[in-house]
Amino acid sequence: MDELENYKKKILQEISVLIEKEKATISYKDFQSNLQKLTDDYINKKVVILFLDNIKKNVKNDTKTTKNYTKEFKIYQKKVKKNLKMYIKTQEKKYYINETNKLLNKMIDSKENINLLKCSYEKCLELQKKDLIMVKNFTEKLCIEKKKKSCKIYKMIDNLDLTKITYKDTNKIIKLIKKGLF
């Protein structure tokens, strides 16, 4: 399990290095400067200042101020989205998106990752078997005490082949347990 976590951390560190490289590009800096200009223009508008001051002072805004503020906010959002779309269309951003996706796919599809997942899955399966046996014993005792819902759970676990437990089987049992033992 620790090996899997270390492998994932290694990939995530590579992604963070890639992000730092992206932040050093000219297109990213242009994107950030445009975003800062848009934000400064928005914040310095009279309607926005009035609206935010009223909120700070716990004064209710009139409908005209609220409508104008909402209008300015929508305009601001459109400009920010346009700026983001322009940045995403740049070659540099496409390159970094592509490289990040490659690293993420490497984390998911690599043989090393699959082998580590199998190992942790087997350990998890063993824990599930132990848990089901404990639940089976407990529900058997409750069933003897004439608790009908517990009998359902007991019968379901008893009918399961513990060597071939599936995710669906586990979910069915969990749903029954959530409905109640008594």
Domain end, chosen from 82, 109, 136, is at 109
CA distances to 21, 119, 135, 139 from 170, rounded to whole Å, are 45, 19, 12, 16
* Same domain, residue pair 14 and 101: yes
pLDDT in tens, 122-161: 666 776 777 778 877 877 777 777 666 677 777 888 887 7
Task: Say if residue 78 is in the same domain as residue 161.
Answer: no
Residues 143 and 97 in one domain: no
Owner of token pair 């669906």: 168
How many Å is the Cα radius of gyration of the chain? 29
**Does a structural domain hold residue 137?**
yes
Residue 93: domain span: 2-109
- List, in sequence order, the alpha helices (H) in the chain: 2-23, 26-43, 46-56, 63-88, 91-109, 111-144, 148-159, 167-179
Clarify whether residues 45 and 101 are in a common domain: yes
Report the C-alpha gap between 154 and 132 in whole angstroms: 10
pLDDT at 165: 75
How far apart CA 45 and CA 59 sit, in angstroms, is: 19
Query: What SS3 class is residue 33?
Result: helix
Residues 152 and 103 both lie in one domain: no
User: Domain end: 55, 86, 109, which one?
Assistant: 109
Same domain, 33 and 84: yes
At 73-99, the pLDDT tens digits run 999 999 999 999 999 999 999 999 888
Q: Is the pTM of this model over 0.75?
A: no
Nearest to 74 by CA among 42, 97, 102: 42
Q: Is the pLDDT of residue 68 over 60?
A: yes
Instruction: Say how far apart CA 93 and CA 149 lie, in whole Å.
Output: 57
Examine the pLDDT at 113 and tell me if it is beyond 70: no
Residue 10 lies in a domain: yes
Residues 129, 157 share a domain: yes
Q: Return the pLDDT at 39.
A: 95
Residue 16: the pLDDT is 87
Angle between helix 63-88 and 91-109 (nearest 10): 80
Residues 128, 105 share a domain: no
Same structural domain for residues 64 and 151?
no
Asked if residue 118 belongs to a domain, the reply is no
- The verdict on 104 and 128 lying in the same domain is no
